Amino acid sequence: MDSVDVEVLRAAISWHQNRMPVIMATVIRTWGSAPRPVGSLLALRLDGLIKGSVSGGCIEDDLVRQAKDGRLDFQRIQTVKYGVSAEEAHRFGLPCGGTLELVLEPLNKDSKLNEVFTAILSGQTLLRTLDTLTGKARLSSGDTPGRTFYDGRYLQAAYGPQLRVVLIGAGQLSEYVARIALPLGYSVIVCDPRDEYSETWDVADIEVSREMPDDLLIRLKVDSNTAVLALTHDPKLDDMALLEALKSDAFYVGAVGSRSNSGRRKERLKLFDLSNSEVDRLHAPVGLHIGAQTPPEIAVAILAEMTAVRRNVPVVQTHAARNRSDSTSVCKVELWDEVLP
């Protein structure tokens, strides 16, 4: 699940443990151009303090006003709908035709959010089913996160592992990738066995490993919520990581390097126990072509392509001639709204 939702759960649990009345709002249905998808979360305290979002801000403001005015019931689960009429949609800042429905759940000892939060942090997937008549929740295990569903009584939501990205190399480019990845919802793990790099790493809230890259990826059990980026320019380290990552379920595997170096790397990888289809999964040179030259610009290009792949937006590679050196670290790609024939 996204880090935004993880932080919502963290805040809600903390407030409830400190005996503050808290409502958890969940988007259960949308019609038209709703600003936030089904499953989006918001935590609201009795005094109006808020974490998360269910719209562009206007619905949040309305909920805060109701909480402060004492008009919001912090004892009973209820559903509310916004944007039913054109006038109401305009009032609440919803897009044309947008409507959304929320379940407002006051937290109690039977909400079981602590267990959900612990499972997320440990990489497990749980299905939480809330009985909106009794306020009691039950948990069951699941293989993959699913969608949020509400049938009029039971609210069912799946909670899975947070997205993560493994960065091979603790150099300057990795620092910028890490700084951008954190607010995008990734937990970040940096792997570099070289003391001269790992000793100077100074980005907070990031796990640093000095294991060999292949050992780390085997230990992490790379899954479909994971991206792996080989960023050292050192084949001894990058290739070790790629040999494991390309055989895994990682949703994105990328490596820096020029087109010619990337071509030679792919031929090298084929000498090992990788199939052609596995080698073809490698994004190299890594990132969207946006004219990036500096490390922060290249980091933006990398995270942009990762986002497109994760959101299933077609990324069409081209090899058009450019007035640039072949040593660029970013390939020429274009995004299309659909795959063209």
Rounded CA gap, 11 and 333, in Å?
Answer: 40
**341: in domain:** no
Give the CATH number for residue 220: 3.40.50.720
Tell whether 340 is covered by a domain: no
Say what the pLDDT of residue 87 is: 67
Measured over the CA atoms of residue 133, residue 136, residue 142 and residue 144, the dihedral's sign is positive
Q: How high is the mean pLDDT in each 10-residue block of the chain (341 residues)? A: 79 96 95 78 96 87 95 96 71 68 96 90 84 95 70 90 89 96 88 90 89 95 93 94 96 94 94 93 94 94 95 69 38 36 29
Q: Is the dihedral of CA 32, 38, 42, 46 positive or negative?
A: positive
Look up residue 315 and give its DSSP letter.
E
Same domain for 253 and 185, yes or no, is yes
Q: What sign results for the dihedral spanned by CA atoms 240, 241, 242, 248?
A: positive
Identity of the residue numbered 257: G
Are 303 and 175 within one domain?
yes
Residue from 241, 254, 234, 229 nearest 194 by CA? 234
Same domain, 134 and 188: no
Query: How many domains does the chain contain in total?
Result: 2
In angstroms, the CA 239 to CA 245 distance is 10
25 within 8 A of 42, measured Cβ to Cβ: yes
Residue 4 DSSP class? H
The Cα 219–Cα 228 span in angstroms is 14
Residues 169 and 298 occupy one common structural domain: yes
User: In terms of residues, how long is the chain?
Assistant: 341
Query: Are 173 and 314 found together in one domain?
Result: yes
Same domain, yes or no, for 169 and 138? no
Q: Is residue 43 part of a domain?
A: yes
Residues 237 and 331 in one domain: yes
278 part of a folded domain: yes
Are 180 and 329 contained in the same domain? yes
Token duo for residue 53: 């979002």
Are 310 and 178 part of one and the same domain? yes
Q: Which amino acid is at 157?
A: A
| 148 and 228 part of one domain | no
**pLDDT of the residue at 99:** 82
Domain that holds residue 137: 3-159
Domain boundary among 159, 188, 222: 159
